[in-house]
């Protein structure tokens, strides 16, 4: 699961340290990754 969150951490660090812009496409990508992680965690919890 952690590997799916690494791009989000990279975007946040780029924004904080390098003052990179977070565009709408990047925000949509972050939302999509978080939704995927949430769905995966819910399904794995249901099968336990």
Domain ranges of the chain: 2-46
Local confidence pLDDT in tens for the 48 residues of the chain: 788 899 999 999 999 999 999 999 999 999 999 999 999 888 777 776
For the chain, what is the total number of helices (H) and then of strands (E)? 2, 0
Where helices occur in 1-48 by DSSP H, the ranges are 2-17, 24-46
The C-alpha atoms of residue 42 and residue 18 are separated, in whole angstroms, by 35
């Amino acid at each position: 699961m952690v590997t799916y969150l690494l791009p989000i951490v990279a975007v946040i660090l780029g924004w904080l340290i390098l003052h990179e812009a977070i565009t709408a496409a990047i925000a949509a990508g972050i939302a999509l990754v978080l939704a995927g992680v949430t769905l995966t965690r819910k399904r794995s919890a249901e099968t336990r």
